Structure 1
Amino acid sequence: MSPTLAIMRRELRSYFVTSLAWVFLVIFLVLAGLLTFYAGDFYERGLADLQPFFAVHPWLYLILVPAVSMRMWPEEARDGTQELLLTLPVTLRQAMLGKFLAAWLFLGLALALTFPLWITVNYLGSPDNGVILAGYLGSWLMAGAFVSIGACLSTLTRSQVVAFILTALVCVLLILAGQPQVLDFFQGTLPRRLVNGVAHLSMLRHFEAISRGVLDLRDLIYFLLTILAWLAGGVLILELKRTR
């Protein structure tokens, strides 16, 4: 078994040893259901689709994903196992990737457990299941991007609370980057190209395109590059810590 898979299995096991995994799953499923059917005007729309369900995902992830990722490296530092981990025949890339994959798979499990909503809309009508599948893919990619941000920022501190706040702050900035109010604010002070660049940084913009069933290669590349960039940043920070 490769070191990456070994670390991934260890991390996944640690989620379910404590109550964190079960609390997260319950909160995610309950909030997703309530927000979809009540705050999302599911019945009033008169359409059998899951657009209201996917619309709340960025805001759910904004709170719940930092709660999962904040423990990645601060917990290692607290338990005194980070130094041991860095001395083992495991590269920092393998350690970072193993921790990331564990959290990403865990979030994939949370998404998979929402399948009753999919069954419900198919019972109520005839939705475009291809669009729904695209929405799940977009949601999972966005969750991966959030986790990679948390994995990177958690290397900066020994405090889980600080890691949570930093991750939530960066994620909300990426969500709001493409909002009209934000772009209008920069419209008069920045060149048009920079304003367009800020708009393209918006995670919400790329996610919404995929959730509507539009699988543009540029949106997929955006999420993959975001994940790789933040994971690489986390590895770089750990390298600097090890050299010191």
Structure 2
Amino acid sequence: MTPVFKKEFLGYFRSPVGYVILAAFHFAVIALALYFGYYRNSQATLFTLFVRLPWVLAIFIPAVGMRLWSEEKRSGSIELLFTLPISPRSAVVAKFLAALCFICVGLCLTFSLAITTSYLGDPDWGVIFSGYIGAALTSAAFLAITAACSALTKNQVIALVLSILICVLSTLIGSDWLAQFLANKVPTGMLDVLRLFSFEQHFEAMSRGLIDISAISFYVTLTLAFLGINMVVIER
């Protein structure tokens, strides 16, 4: 399992693509935070960073994970992989953890804004770390979805488009914008049910400093479910 993890993780840094993705992610997150009022009313706050983060992750994560299995299937190296003394389950977990660690590197780069905030004021570090925990859990769930999509096809573009579609819809499904749009079209109870499956709603609670057990359970359950789908597809 360890050799597969090292191969996948270091593979992101052996080509310019990994650095381009990290740079683009860092620029997008910081730019959106500044655009939506990072320093407003003489107060520096990370709320604008976290409030848009799920939408950036919905694009960034599929770009990172689209190659996990589709590239192996396209090049034929998947047969070579399973001639090694490693089970499909271990291979799925190793690839997933390698990509997740790379994503965490991207999240760590945005911590520069938290340091800037501490210089400009006196932020609540509990809220900041809660937000980053929520970001990591959201990333894990999005990555599990992307890995399952990547296992279904040999084409990285198809895996990218399919996983972005699922991630964006799962973020949009409980948003305030959609709730206002559907307010007079569907029963209120249905809107409440949709919110239970919304990434944005679960992440918002954690971005405000609340370590919500229901949100953690949602992310962990969804991550394990899609990793299970990934394992089933690979084993077949």
Scaled to the shorter chain, the TM-score interval is over 0.9
SS at match of 2:43: coil
Give the counterpart letter for 2:137 in structure 1.
Answer: L
CA 1:165–1:45: 2 relative to 1, 3 Å: farther
Give the counterpart letter for 1:12 in structure 2.
Answer: F
Q: 1:9 aligns with which of 6, 9, 30?
A: 6
SS at match of 1:87: coil
Q: 2:28 aligns with which of 25, 28, 31?
A: 31
1:214 counterpart residue number: 210
- Contact kept, 8 Å, 1:62 with 1:168, in 2: the verdict is yes
Distance in 2 between the 1:156 and 1:187 partners? 38
Distance in 2 between the 1:220 and 1:18 partners? 34
Alpha-carbon distance, 1:44 to partner:
2.2
Distance in 2 between the 1:187 and 1:86 partners? 53
Give the counterpart letter for 1:11 in structure 2.
Answer: E
Give the counterpart letter for 1:168 in structure 2.
Answer: I
Stretch moving more, 156-165 or 60-69: 60-69
Structure 2: stretches of 5+ with no match in the other structure? none
CA 1:164–1:123: 2 relative to 1, 3 Å: same
- Contact kept, 8 Å, 2:39 with 2:45, in 1: the verdict is no
CA 1:187–1:220: 2 relative to 1, 3 Å: farther
Deviations 1:55-91 (A, max 9, x none): 2211211221111111111110122111222333211
Q: 2:114 aligns with which of 118, 126, 138?
A: 118
Alignment of 1:91-106 (within 5 A): 91-106=87-102
**Equivalent residues, number:** 235
SS at match of 1:72: helix
Distance in 2 between the 1:48 and 1:157 partners? 45
2:127 counterpart residue number: 131
Stretch moving more, 82-91 or 135-144: 82-91
Deviations 1:91-125 (A, max 9, x none): 11111111110111111111112222111111111
Alpha-carbon distance, 1:45 to partner:
4.5
Q: 1:57 aligns with which of 44, 53, 58?
A: 53
Sequence identity percentage:
37
Distance in 1 between the 2:114 and 2:57 partners? 20
TM-score by structure 2 length? 0.93
Give the counterpart letter for 2:27 in structure 1.
Answer: V
Distance in 1 between the 2:104 and 2:197 partners? 24
- Contact kept, 8 Å, 2:174 with 2:191, in 1: the verdict is no
Give the counterpart letter for 2:12 in structure 1.
Answer: Y
SS at match of 1:101: helix
Give the counterpart letter for 2:225 in structure 1.
Answer: A
Distance in 2 between the 1:187 and 1:9 partners? 52
Asked if residue 151 in structure 1 is aligned to residue 147 in structure 2, the reply is yes
Distance in 2 between the 1:43 and 1:185 partners? 33
Give the counterpart letter for 1:15 in structure 2.
Answer: Y
SS at match of 1:65: helix
Asked if residue 176 in structure 1 is aligned to residue 194 in structure 2, the reply is no
Alpha-carbon distance, 1:191 to partner:
8.3
SS at match of 2:82: helix
Give the counterpart letter for 1:227 in structure 2.
Answer: T
Alpha-carbon distance, 1:8 to partner:
1.2
- Contact kept, 8 Å, 1:49 with 1:132, in 2: the verdict is no
